[in-house]
Amino acid sequence: MAKIKNISLKFPCLERYDDMKLQNDGRFCDSCEKLVYDFTDKTLEDLEQIKKENKGSVCGRFKKSQLNSSFYKYAAATVIAASSLAIDAEAQVNPQNKNDTLNSSEEILLGDIENFSDVDIEIEGEITECVDTTYVIVDKMPEYLDGGMKGLNQIISEEIKYPSDLKKGGRVFIEFVIGRDGNIYDPRVLKGLSTEADKEALRVISNKNIKFIPGEQRGQKVPVRMVLPIVFTKRD
């Protein structure tokens, strides 16, 4: 039986697996309204069968050793950033619960499967970099210009408005590129919550006052793609 490896996810999910309801081969996520399969002890054949049964759209739970190494570096950076941002109905910042298993000896990540390979890929030759490359992991990651993550948290909390159509809290994942000039480009909803919540998250992240210190690779400023979860928590 082949082992699962080289998994890449669309983005690392921050929901707590242990809080989900047990169902069949995994747990049911109320936020996404779908089953999250536990692949930590499954084989590649199991994964292929489950993807076939679900017509390719599968959310899963994986060990670090099952993930593509480049994706894992990107995911780790996203989780660190995400742990600092939680926006409630009154635009105040609350601490966000982290997935308890992230601190275990074999780290665990959840997310929608983007692609996978059953072989290790090795490339020989001189490495060249295209000037148009957009990176996800660089030597020096972008940093919000006015106070880092704490400052970004502050400006989002000041700007955000709780959507009228949102019945319960949740997260909107926004993907965007931070250019060589530190500005945000091409923001889009990677995973939505509701029509109004998605619009509000896009509106806030498109604020012209949000500027970053550009990312750097080998001493050169480069465009970096990032994913930022904006968390709406409604108070009773």
Give the CATH number of the domain where residue 160 resides: 3.30.1150
The confidence band for 188, taking pLDDT boundaries of 50, 70 and 90, is very high
Tell me the sheet residues that pair with 228. Answer: 174
Residue 151 maps to a domain: yes
Based on the fold, state whether residues 77 and 153 are members of the same structural domain. Answer: no
Confidence band for 109, pLDDT divided at 50, 70 and 90: low
| Residue 15 near residue 33 (C-beta atoms within 8 A) | no
Q: Are residues 12 and 101 in the same domain?
A: yes
Burial of 163 (0-12, 13-18, 19+ CB in 10 A): buried
Residue 41 lies in a domain: yes
Does residue 164 share a domain with residue 213? yes
Range of the domain at 24: 8-84+97-115
Longest dimension (CA), the chain: 59
Please check whether residues 58 and 108 belong to one and the same domain. yes
Q: What is the C-alpha to C-alpha distance for residues 235 and 225, in angstroms, rounded to an integer?
A: 32
Whether 17 and 107 map to the same domain: the answer is yes
- The answer to whether residues 110 and 147 belong to one domain is no
129 assigned to some structural domain: no
Together in a domain, 148 and 226 = yes
Are residue 111 and residue 168 in the same domain, yes or no? no
Same domain, 12 and 108: yes
CA distances from 4 to 16, 117, 119 (A): 22, 8, 10
* 147 pLDDT above the threshold of 60: yes
How many helices (H) does the chain have, and how many strands (E)?
4, 14
In sequence order, the β-bridge partners of residue 4 are: none
Structurally, how many domains does the chain consist of?
2
Residue 106: how many other CB atoms lie within 10 Å = 10
pTM of the model: 0.58
- Distance in angstroms (rounded) separating the CA atoms of residues 233 and 87: 6
Say if residue 71 is in the same domain as residue 170: no
How many Cβ atoms sit within 10 Å of the Cβ of residue 29?
A: 20
- Same structural domain, 226 and 150: yes
In a domain, 89, yes or no: no
Q: Do residues 71 and 14 both lie within one domain?
A: yes
* pLDDT classification of 229: cutoffs 50, 70, 90: confident
- Residue 96's closest CA among 148, 34, 170? 170
Which residues are CB-neighbours of 65 under 8 A, at least 6 positions away? 5, 106
Residue 99: per-residue pLDDT: 42
Domain assignment of residue 207, yes or no:
yes
**Higher pLDDT pick, 108 / 8:** 8
Do 99 and 16 contact (CB within 8 A), yes or no? yes
Mean pLDDT calculated for residue range 106-121:
56
The verdict on residue 92 lying in a domain is: no
Question: What are the two backbone dihedrals, phi and then psi, of residue 206, each rounded to the nearest 5 degrees?
Answer: -85, 5
- From the number of C-beta atoms within 10 Å of its C-beta (0-12, 13-18, 19+), residue 44 rates as middle
Structural element, H or E, at residue 29: strand 26-29
64 inside domain: yes
Task: Give the residue, 118 or 163, on which the prediction is more confident.
Answer: 163
Q: How far is residue 46 from each of residues 3, 52, 53, 147, measured CA to CA in Å?
A: 10, 10, 11, 46
